[in-house]
Amino acid sequence: MDGLEVIAISSILYCESDGEYTHIYLNNKTKIMSSYNIGEYESMFDDYSFFRIHHSYLVNKNYIKKYLKTDGSSVIMTNEKHYQYQEEKK
């Protein structure tokens, strides 16, 4: 698709980094590729329910199904994707 596609922020499950691009996964199982990097989305979504769980993933807290504390902390999303927290480097 050429041009600009407007989507509701509430429909975004998570964002995945792919170099200088970002793949955006929606709750209707659609995947959109964007030329913005994931850091730009992290800034744009600062006032919403998103957090950077890993250097490659920005997840919407509203779609987290379960928090796990075994073998490090991780989450399971409503689409059954599993992501482990990556500790920040100091």
Q: What is the residue extent of each domain of the chain? A: 9-84
pLDDT at 90: 44
Range 9-84 classified under CATH 2.40.50.1020: yes
Global pTM value = 0.85
User: If you write DSSP's letter for every residue of 17-83 in order, what string do you get?
Assistant: EETTEEEEEETTS-EEEESS-HHHHHHHTTTTTEEEEETTEEEEGGGEEEEE-TTS-EEEETTS-EE
CA end-to-end distance (rounded Å), the chain: 40
pLDDT tens digits along 48-78: 999 999 999 999 999 999 988 876 788 999 9
> Is 60 exceeded by the pLDDT of residue 8?
yes
pLDDT tens-digit profile of 19-33? Answer: 999 999 999 999 999
